[in-house]
Amino acid sequence: MRQIDHFISGGAGASASRFGDIMDPNNGGVQARVALGDAAVLERAVQAALAAQPAWAMTNPQRRARVMFEFKRLVEANMDDLAHMLSSEHGKVIADSKGDIQRGLEVIEFCCGIPHVMKGEYSQGAGPGIDVYSMRQPIGVGAGITPFNFPGMIPLWMCGPAIATGNAFIIKPSERDPSVPVRLAELFIEAGLPEGICQVVHGDKEMVDAILDHPAIGAVSFVGSSDIAHYVYNRGVANGKRVQAMGGAKNHGIVMPDADLDQVVNDLAGAAFGSAGERCMALPVVVPVGDDTAERLKAKLIPAIQALRVGISTDAEAHYGPVVTEQHKAKVEGWIQTCVDEGGELIVDGRGFKLQGHEEGYFIGPTLFDHVTTDMESYKEEIFGPVLQIVRAANFEEALALPSKHQYGNGVAIFTRNGHAAREFAARVNVGMVGINVPIPVPVAYHSFGGWKRSAFGDTNQHGMEGVKFWTKVKTITQRWPDGSPDGGNAFVIPTMG
Ligand code: NAD
């Protein structure tokens, strides 16, 4: 059976006593096993990182950027292989896997400009003969802990800025689909990155705890579910680390009465069901404003949902593939039952879906509920599957309150032709990323990604300038070059610019 090993110091290594199963979501069953590491494995990676990092930090930023350019070229050249590898473990369709990698590569493109964005500030003549300037320096050794749902994009969100700014970076990918991050680390070496600067350690809670407790790791970036994000944030910060920890989501799409409903239905189908709903920026809740809008929307949504094609991840015609594991399938189907029990009106039921020839695959048909209300657990919690819930609102204020009061605040969208309503909504909604007639408002790489409330712990977003800030410390220098004449200052009084 294929085995996925840690990637330490430029090569596969470190023996393991525990292994995790990598499932085949299209067909069911185990397709590979991954080594599950511990503190001893991490120690090897940290020692390699500590040995390699000072020279990498001293490498001038243009040379570091050239590694990013070459890495981008190599990932593009290997795109087909990477996408197939990603789909085979995750289950998303090939075109979507390419998008997963491409969105990560766009962060690498941003990092090709690292010499420019790392420039500090300078004030000439801040006092008599005094200049003040600042510089950004790497943290040293950083770590990333990533979820299963974007095994290309999210590792690249982190390793691009971490490495380009001069850190050594250790990634602990999801143990459900760890192959792509290992391949990316290999490509970094091929691109000219020194050994020890990008390493991969595999594992579960044991490895995560080892990372959070290791004194030489100065910064930890986490993306995953909210309870784990909160735990990682608390433990990392208690150990004196810089931590950013992105969590779960329940994104709402507000549909105003004047919206172009054909466009909305088209957008919703992709945003709610694409990648089987396993996206933190999926739109699993739609909020039509007014019953008339709700009825018109529902009439168009039902046939659109019934026309969706669920298939294996290599089916070029499929809109989406299986969910990641059998347990996840059972969990999503459990939520569908909960919503039924709570009084949601089940309009389209995706349970029991069987794909001919792939009966053991983890497929769930698209599911639609109407009359979901805010007191239902299935509304309050993230389902993370191909399930769309209609929550009706009587007016704009009621619609605005729904995502604003929800425990999660990752993304939200409003669909309208009314610029004033859209502007008002964007200004007032209590959510971190807003789409105006854009269903999945994932910011481009040179802006930054991050939610509010229980969707993110810590105060720095992913990628863009926020990413550069997270992976660097600011050092500020106040300099004076005396000309030899005594300045007569009193050294016992705090210097002021008065
Ligand atoms: P998860 O929380 O189960 O796992 C994330 C990481 O944490 C993995 O590397 C895993 O090994 C580790 N982990 C799991 N249990 C742990 C524990 N008890 N202690 C320490 N570490 C542990 O998340 P997932 O199922 O892989 O991913 C889906 C979740 O990620 C969803 O909630 C989704 O919304 C969220 N997500 C959020 C964003 C965002 O940017 N906000 C992006 C993508 C996914």
Q: Is the CB of 223 under 6 A from ligand 1?
A: yes
- Residue nearest (by alpha carbon) to ligand 1 atom 9: 174
336 close to 346: Cβ distance less than 8 angstroms: yes
Indicate whether 366 belongs to any domain.
yes
Question: Same domain for 422 and 463?
Answer: no
Per DSSP, what are the bridge partners of residue 198?
169
Residues 6+ apart with CB under 8 A from 93: 87, 311, 313, 314, 315, 316, 318, 319, 320, 321
Question: Same domain for 83 and 138?
Answer: yes
Token pair listed for 159: 């390793």
- Strands 433-436 and 411-415 come out as parallel
- Residue nearest (by alpha carbon) to ligand 1 atom 22: 205
409 close to 453: Cβ distance less than 8 angstroms: yes
Indicate whether 473 belongs to any domain.
yes
Count Cβ neighbours within 10 Å for each residue of 249-260 and write b for 16 or more, e otherwise: bbbbbbbbbebe
Question: Same domain for 40 and 91?
Answer: yes
Q: Is the CB of 383 under 6 A from ligand 1?
A: no
Distance from CA of residue 119 to its chain's centroid? 27
Indicate whether 297 belongs to any domain.
yes
Q: In angstroms, what is the span from residue 284 Cα to ligand 1's centroid?
A: 18
Q: In angstroms, what is the span from residue 226 Cα to ligand 1's centroid?
A: 8
Q: Is the CB of 246 under 6 A from ligand 1?
A: yes
Separation between Cα atoms, residue 454 and residue 311, nearest integer Å = 33
Question: Same domain for 17 and 114?
Answer: yes
Question: Using alpha carbons only, how large is the chain's radius of gyration in Å?
Answer: 25
Separation between Cα atoms, residue 39 and residue 148, nearest integer Å = 22
Annotated active-site residue 339? The verdict is: no
Q: Which among 280, 452, 463 is the best mutation to test ligand 1's pocket, defined by most ligand atoms within 8 Å of the CB?
A: 280
Question: Same domain for 141 and 280?
Answer: no
Indicate whether 221 belongs to any domain.
yes
Question: Same domain for 233 and 285?
Answer: no
Q: Domain limits at 47?
A: 2-247+453-477
Question: Same domain for 237 and 262?
Answer: no
Q: Is the CB of 73 under 6 A from ligand 1?
A: no
321 close to 87: Cβ distance less than 8 angstroms: yes
403 close to 391: Cβ distance less than 8 angstroms: no
The one-digit pLDDT tens for each residue of the chain (498 residues) are 899 999 999 887 767 789 999 999 999 999 999 999 999 999 999 999 999 999 999 999 999 999 999 999 999 999 999 999 999 999 999 999 999 999 999 999 999 999 999 999 999 999 888 999 999 999 999 999 999 999 999 999 999 999 999 999 999 999 999 999 999 999 999 999 999 999 999 999 999 999 999 999 999 999 999 999 999 999 999 999 999 999 999 999 999 999 999 999 999 999 999 999 999 999 999 999 999 999 999 999 999 999 999 999 999 999 999 999 999 999 999 999 999 999 999 999 999 999 999 999 999 999 999 999 999 999 999 999 999 999 999 999 999 999 999 999 999 999 999 999 999 999 999 999 999 999 999 999 999 999 999 999 999 999 999 999 999 999 999 999 988 877 666 677 777 777
Question: Same domain for 300 and 230?
Answer: no
Q: In angstroms, what is the span from residue 415 Cα to ligand 1's centroid?
A: 30
Question: Same domain for 182 and 271?
Answer: no
Question: Same domain for 310 and 217?
Answer: no
Indicate whether 498 belongs to any domain.
no
DSSP letter for 443, please.
P
- Residue nearest (by alpha carbon) to ligand 1 atom 42: 280
Question: Same domain for 319 and 217?
Answer: no
Per DSSP, what are the bridge partners of residue 33?
3, 21
- Residue nearest (by alpha carbon) to ligand 1 atom 16: 205
Name the strand (E) or helix (H) holding 428. helix 419-428
Q: Give SS3 for 41.
A: helix
Indicate whether 443 belongs to any domain.
no
Indicate whether 492 belongs to any domain.
no
Q: In angstroms, what is the span from residue 148 Cα to ligand 1's centroid?
A: 7
Indicate whether 268 belongs to any domain.
yes
Number of domains in the chain: 2
Q: Where are the alpha helices (DSSP H) in 311-386?
A: 326-341, 377-380
CATH at residue 278: 3.40.309.10
Q: Is the CB of 225 under 6 A from ligand 1?
A: yes
Looking at the CA of residue 225, tell me the nearest atom of ligand 1.
32
Q: Is the CB of 148 under 6 A from ligand 1?
A: yes
Token pair listed for 63: 């040379």
Q: In angstroms, what is the span from residue 73 Cα to ligand 1's centroid?
A: 29
Question: Same domain for 282 and 427?
Answer: yes
Catalytic member of 112, 159, 198, 280:
280
Q: Which among 38, 89, 148, 460 is the best mutation to test ligand 1's pocket, defined by most ligand atoms within 8 Å of the CB?
A: 148
CATH at residue 116: 3.40.605.10
